[in-house]
Amino acid sequence: MGPTFGRAWWVAWLIAAWIVARIVSAHAEELPPAGAQAIDQLFHKVAPSVVAIRARGRDAMAGTQTRFTETGSGVLISADGQVLTAAYVVHGMDEISVEFPGGETVSARVVASEPAAADLSLLQLDRVPTNSTVSPMADSNTVSVGETILIVGAPYRRPHSLSVGSIHARWAPSTAYRSMPVAEFFQTDATIDAVNSGGPMFNLRGEVIGIVSHNIAKGDRSEGWGFVVTLNTAKHLLFEKRSAGSGIAQGSCSASARSC
């Protein structure tokens, strides 16, 4: 076998391999998305823990008694009635109501809030409806770039929403948003909007790994990407820093003040 024949055989092999790869790729694009059924099952598992929040307050900065309303999503994280959400929805509000799937509504109060540091708040329900679903909190340090994630929203008096995407980057404190120097962020291609704002980001085990805020996601640095505060940031700001007996996170704004 001469060298010319050997080279010709090698070129022919490469061409055949390229053709096979193109055929396999074309057929792969025709298949349904991998794991679509698993995603649907997970959505129905975690959605009952995602609640709709409606809060009413007065604009203290305007110097009037004009009342306004904010709505958003949240997630039940404990059997005794703790709910995580975005601070802009509830911070400084006079009345807060939390609506569970099925329509049952419960009053709540803010027990810790970090509107400036990470747009996060922790609510305490006055009571917990029977058979409520609680979503476990993950260690967000275990989340890897490339992981598939779900963002679930609970629009007020409408069906739950679902956005599926993946983690594209992890931003350390003082990198993504200089105005929030202690907050860590995930960067994702999942849709973040007013419908799911305040709601949870889940991993594929159904654990909460972040809290969504469209106020953060639509910032100058977003450029079509979503930025989500990691759950470990929420743990640090809303649980670990809470002063003994006060129920308010150290370094946070007063829960009675709408702006800070």
For residue 194, the model assigns a pLDDT of 86
pLDDT exceeds 80 at position 8: no
Give the architecture-level CATH label for domain 49-133: Beta Barrel (2.40)
Position 126 pLDDT exceeds 60:
yes
pLDDT at site 155: 85
Most confidently modeled range among 6-15, 21-30, 141-150, 189-198: 141-150
**Among the listed ranges 82-96, 105-119, 212-226, 241-255, which one has the minimum average pLDDT value?**
241-255
Mean pLDDT confidence for 6-24: 46
Residue 137, amino acid: M
Alpha-carbon distance values, 168 to 137, 144, 214 (Å): 21, 9, 18
Smallest CA-to-CA distance from 133 within 102, 97, 158 is with 102
Cα angle for residues 221, 89, 97 (degrees, 5° grid): 155
Residue 21 pLDDT exceeds 90: no
CB distance 213 to 86 below 8 Å: yes
**Which tens digit of pLDDT belongs to each residue from 176-221?**
877 888 899 999 999 888 889 999 999 999 999 999 987 776 544 4
- Give the tokens for residue 218: 């639509």
> How many other C-beta atoms are found inside a 10 Å radius of the C-beta of residue 94?
11
Could you confirm whether domain 140-239 is CATH 2.40.10.10?
Answer: yes
- Do 49-133 and 140-239 agree at the fold level? yes
- Residue-range domain boundaries for the chain: 49-133, 140-239
At residue 64 the predicted structure's pLDDT band, cuts being 50, 70 and 90, is low
Mean pLDDT of 152-179: 89
Q: When comparing pLDDT for 5 and 124, which is higher?
A: 124
Judge whether residue 31 has pLDDT over 80: no
What distance in Å separates the CA atoms of residue 175 and residue 22, rounded to the nearest whole number?
41
Mean pLDDT rounded to a whole number for the chain: 80
Q: Which of 93-102, 123-132, 214-223 has the lowest mean pLDDT?
A: 214-223
